[in-house]
Homo-oligomer: A and B are copies of this chain.
């Protein structure tokens, strides 16, 4: 399951997509419109900024906005930034790989199954973008 934090992230991003190219949006506005705890949202947006998904502007008239065209940011990327691994096992993760103790990847049946799941999942999540959030 995606964490609540990640779900907040998607809700916030949805708002920013809806306001794409309309200038910076206040954290407090997103917080209010999407009912996300303000300070928690601050952290989330900052993370998304550091990951290169958002940009921000300080001072009056400032706020957050999408760095790139909504169709350029993939859903998979957002999940990796906020939630971490997408795979069901560390030993099949592409971005957060960790070899598994007590099992040999060559002969581990579970490994194969979860590789297949990962492929199927990524096939979807890497081909859906922020644009798809609003349709």
Chain B residues positioned under 8 Å from A113 (CB to CB): 75, 124-125, 128, 132-133
- The answer to whether B117 touches A134, judged by C-beta atoms less than 8 angstroms apart, is no
A134-B109 contact, Cβ under 8 Å, with A102-B35, A103-B11: yes
State which size class the interface on A falls in.
35 or more
How many copies of this chain does the complex contain?
A: 2
Q: Is A24 an interface residue (CB 8 A)?
A: no
- The answer to whether B2 touches A88, judged by C-beta atoms less than 8 angstroms apart, is yes
User: A82-114 interface mask toward B, CB cutoff 8 Å, 1 = contact, 0 = none?
Assistant: 001101111000000000101100010110110
Known: A1-B89, A14-B109, A109-B134. 12 other contacts (CB 8 A): A1-B85, A1-B87, A1-B88, A1-B90, A34-B102, A113-B124, A113-B125, A113-B132, A113-B133, A117-B124, A120-B123, A120-B124
